[in-house]
Amino acid sequence: MIKDISKWGATLLFLVLTSWSIGQKVMHSGEIVYERRTNLEKRFKGTDFMGGRFDDRLKEPKVDDFTLYFNDSVALFMPNYPVIDPERKWLTMRNSTLQDLSKGEVVRQISFWGTNIFLNDSVLEREWIITGNKRTIAGYEAKQALWEANDSTRIYAWYAERLISSVGPETYNGLPGVILGLAIEDGGVVYFAKEVNALSVDDIKDEMPTGRKKDYYTEEQIRELVNDRFSDRNIGKGILRDLFIW
């Protein structure tokens, strides 16, 4: 009886190690599905959002799914459809971001309260601090890094060195592996990968939405647009924070 249990244990150990090995395979391209959880109460804290009429709808976290398509130098982060929570879809922005590291360029399609606008920008260089902490995400060992966005805001990232590209969700990059987890320190917004798959598209850039010439804005023009649109300056500040911290 003990012998049989030992054989079963050896078989189980082999299956676990095999599964871990498969999940840890090196990939130079692929696509990753992420879940983003937004704490709406924290996001709208300090604002008189809709006169308080929607306070009950802010208590449940808002969940959105995205996919990151990546290779050695290009990444496209896009929202998935259909929307998971259609009744509250307007409470969070679902932007598409194309990063071309070889050219140092970023293009963003910004979902701005029912209107899509576009922003051409340069790749942002962040100063990361490697913390030494680790965790497993979507079957990959991920190492933790920290970026101090400003005096009051820290962003934590978890990257997998076996996914060979220096990219991640939204505009994030600059680490020695794809970012599988991303979170603001207070937990208000958290991204975590759910699965990693082989790349299914021929040309990542072709998947990026495009607009007409009049749909493209500079960062300064977007800031003016947000400030003009919202009389509640706290809501405007929150939208700008969401746009430019990610």
Tell me what pLDDT residue 134 has.
Answer: 98
Among candidate residues 126, 123, 90, the one with its CA nearest the CA of residue 105? 123
Give me the count of residues in the chain. 246
- CATH number for the domain including 178? 2.50.20
pTM attached to this predicted model: 0.84
Q: Report the alpha-carbon distance of residue 122 to residue 245 in Å, rounded.
A: 14
Does residue 192 lie within any of the structural domains? yes
Does residue 113 lie within any of the structural domains? yes
Does residue 203 lie within any of the structural domains? yes
For the stretch 116-162, pLDDT in tens is: 899 999 998 999 999 999 999 999 999 999 999 988 899 999 999 99
Does residue 11 lie within any of the structural domains? no
Does residue 199 lie within any of the structural domains? yes
Tell me what pLDDT residue 51 has.
Answer: 55
For the stretch 177-198, pLDDT in tens is: 999 999 999 999 999 999 999 9
Does residue 7 lie within any of the structural domains? no
Tell me what pLDDT residue 54 has.
Answer: 63
Which domain, by its residues, includes 84? 29-245
Q: Is residue 53 very low, low, confident or very high in pLDDT (cuts 50, 70, 90)?
A: low
Does residue 53 lie within any of the structural domains? yes
For the stretch 89-100, pLDDT in tens is: 878 889 999 999
Burial of 3 (0-12, 13-18, 19+ CB in 10 A): exposed
Does residue 14 lie within any of the structural domains? no
Tally of structural domains, the chain: 1
